[in-house]
């Protein structure tokens, strides 16, 4: 297959910039990836400033698995279906070297039976953070503590997450990991 030149791969910001102030780290990251196309579907996409500590993994495993990289579709060992990068039914990556991240909280994506998992964004989240993200039907949602649970809905008058975090910090309510009763939905 074709290997992209090393300068075409996203580079992580240096450790020094990760410990710098949020704006400086964001600027350093933007400089590190300037001129690199981050999205095929949206070639003009740039990183928003809120991702100050974002570190990008190499996209080389995905590039190699893509049709352009000479990769072929593979059969999922679980369901035996033919897939490219991951199986949305079994929630397993089919690419060696797929990144895994830890989130600062638990997240439950409530799925609708009419929603196709192949189109659900929650599937990608569950693949990237398998220890922190669960997909579940409304009837499968665990008991959650309303004092420590945040429900995120895409509605017109919803509070943005940054404002919510500032309010929680001002009120002294800690955010972070906990058991199912203390997690965010």
Cα gap 22→52, rounded to integer Å: 5
25, with CB counted inside 10 A (0-12, 13-18, 19+), is buried
Please report the pLDDT score of residue 77 as a whole number.
Answer: 92
Task: Classify strands 107-110 and 133-136 as parallel, antiparallel or unpaired.
Answer: parallel
Please report the pLDDT score of residue 81 as a whole number.
Answer: 93
Tokens of 56: 């990008």
Please report the pLDDT score of residue 178 as a whole number.
Answer: 46
Please report the pLDDT score of residue 28 as a whole number.
Answer: 60
For the chain, count helices (H), then strands (E). Answer: 5, 6
Tokens of 182: 């203390």
Please report the pLDDT score of residue 36 as a whole number.
Answer: 63
Please report the pLDDT score of residue 82 as a whole number.
Answer: 92
Please report the pLDDT score of residue 169 as a whole number.
Answer: 82
Cα separations in angstroms, 106 against 66, 120, 129: 31, 18, 10
Q: Structure pTM?
A: 0.58
Please report the pLDDT score of residue 32 as a whole number.
Answer: 63
Please report the pLDDT score of residue 72 as a whole number.
Answer: 83
Number of residues written out for the chain: 185
Ordered mean pLDDT values, 10 residues apiece, the chain (185 residues): 38 36 54 63 69 72 79 89 90 87 88 85 90 90 86 82 82 57 43
Phi, psi (degrees; rounded to nearest 5) at 135: -100, 130
3-state secondary structure (DSSP) of residue 33: helix
Please report the pLDDT score of residue 152 as a whole number.
Answer: 80
The tally of CA atoms less than 13 A away on the side-chain side of residue 134 is: 13
């Amino acid at each position: 297959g074709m290997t992209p030149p090393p300068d075409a791969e996203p580079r992580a910001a240096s450790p020094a910039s990760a410990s710098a102030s949020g704006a400086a780290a964001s600027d350093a990251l933007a400089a590190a990836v300037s001129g690199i196309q981050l999205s095929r579907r949206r070639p003009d996409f740039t990183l928003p400033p809120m991702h100050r500590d974002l570190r990008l993994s190499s996209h080389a495993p995905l590039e190699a698995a893509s049709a352009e990289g000479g990769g072929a579709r593979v059969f999922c060992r679980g369901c035996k279906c033919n897939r490219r990068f991951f199986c949305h039914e079994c929630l397993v990556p089919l690419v060696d070297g797929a990144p895994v991240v830890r989130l600062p909280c638990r997240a439950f994506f409530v799925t609708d039976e009419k929603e196709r998992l192949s189109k659900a964004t929650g599937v990608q989240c569950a693949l990237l953070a398998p220890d922190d993200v669960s997909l579940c039907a409304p009837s499968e949602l665990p008991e959650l503590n309303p004092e420590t649970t945040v429900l995120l809905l895409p509605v017109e008058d919803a509070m943005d997450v940054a404002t919510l975090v500032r309010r929680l910090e001002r009120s002294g309510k800690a955010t972070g990991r906990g058991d199912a009763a203390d997690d965010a939905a």
